[in-house]
A and B are shown apart, each in its own frame.
Chain A
Amino acid sequence: MHYTSDFFAKSPESMLVALARAGQRGAFAELVTRRQTWIRNLMRRCSGDATLADDLSQQVFTQAWRSIRQLHDADRLGPWLKRIAINMWLQHKRTNDPLRGADENNDADSAHNDTTSVAMDLDNALATLSPDQRLCIVLSYHERMTHGEIAEFTSLPLGTIKSHIRRGTLKLQEQLSAYVEPLKEVE
């Protein structure tokens, strides 16, 4: 059966997932269009490199297309995509040595052209954190995940996550003092 792009644009997400599961490429392309902002921003905060983030986002959606039949509950598309994205980032971190990462970051300066100054400053501040600290901070502030959820996604101990977020928050507050009011009270 042939569907128009207008039909996909007007369809609810659950229907798009069902159609994509049945092999409808147009439905999946519409899902990509709808979810691209979220995934691309998540990858940008994780990597700090717009080009790398877009490459990884593309891989996330390619992986999603390959395994869309495993997504039985259409309402779980968001968490399912998030898991793929985080696994993709963790895999990228494992397979890329720090020196290569440094080269990528140098190249990334030009890739920041389409990035706002707030995003640039935030990414620069995030770059001062350790990779694990950064991931925990991004998942906590960008994804608004609880410590328990972060532990489940990253397989890091809960205590380590709390410590990463606490230290990372302090560091970001220091780095981004121009944007963020310093904390008055410390618990």
Chain B
Amino acid sequence: MNISHDPNLQALFAQAEQDFQGDSFADDVMRQVDRERRKTLLVWSAVSIFILACVALLATPAFTAARLATELLPVSLVEIETEWLRLLLSPVNSVAAVIALSVLGIRKFFRRIFR
């Protein structure tokens, strides 16, 4: 007889099994399914309303910020009279260029420290 598998114990497990009949358990499961569906619907509705409210509230300030940014970013840092030189230096002679270079510099700095 194999000690890791006792047929008597196996029979005892089978004997201990109860037979569950009827639909009441299935009804409970389906009620739980309905509850979960309602809960999911409620959560999604709340999230949608929150997003819509955020959009409604933040639309005007966001639009203003975007307009200011588009006006501010191309502003030249140094006024250059010569046309060809102004065009040549335009990629670095602007607020946007300063911000971009700052971001790249900070990124490089952090990579050097933390890697």
Answer yes or no: A81 CB below 8 A from chain B CBs.
no
Which chain B residue shows the least CB distance to A65? B33
By DSSP majority rule, is chain A's interface helix, strand, loop, or mixed? Answer: helix
Contact (Cβ within 8 A) A29 B28: no
Report if A185-B1 is in contact (Cβ < 8 Å); known contacts: A32-B26, A118-B16.
Answer: yes
Report if A62-B36 is in contact (Cβ < 8 Å); known contacts: A32-B26, A33-B23.
Answer: yes
Contact (Cβ within 8 A) B5 A169: yes
Complex contacts, A122 vs chain B, CB 8 Å? 12-13, 16
By DSSP majority rule, is chain B's interface helix, strand, loop, or mixed? Answer: helix
Contact (Cβ within 8 A) B9 A58: no
Q: Please, could you name 16 A-B residue pairs with CB atoms under 8 Å apart, sorted by A? A: A25-B30, A30-B26, A36-B26, A37-B18, A40-B18, A44-B18, A62-B33, A140-B4, A141-B13, A142-B13, A162-B4, A169-B5, A169-B9, A180-B9, A186-B3, A187-B2
Residues of B within 8 A of A (CB): 1-6, 8-10, 12-13, 15-20, 22-23, 25-30, 32-33, 36
